[in-house]
Amino acid sequence: MIPDYQTRYMQEVPLGRMGLPSDIARMVLFLSSDDAEWITGQLYLVDGGLMSGRYSFQGNQDFVMLDGHRS
């Protein structure tokens, strides 16, 4: 990653660190476990909180920033 971009990115991530493959693996393990047997049709963002409070999902592949700008 370019150092300036990485610095800006890290300032935006509430959990304060880069994501790891193990973060995704833990979600996969949870969703494939008996603990998730009643979960269907959900969207899970494994992003350290990056998207929290910023986007509103409007459709299958369309999302809008909460300030109204379409992405």
- What pTM value is reported for the model? 0.64
Q: What is the pLDDT of residues 18-71, one digit of tens each?
A: 899 999 999 999 999 999 999 998 888 898 988 886 655 555 455 555 555 555
User: Residue 19 is part of which domain span?
Assistant: 3-65
Q: Is position 7 within any domain?
A: yes
Count of structural domains within the chain:
1
Contact call for residues 62 and 69 (beta carbons, < 8 A):
no
Q: Is position 31 within any domain?
A: yes
Residue 11: which CATH number? 1.10.8
Q: Is position 30 within any domain?
A: yes
Contact call for residues 63 and 57 (beta carbons, < 8 A):
yes
Q: Is position 71 within any domain?
A: no
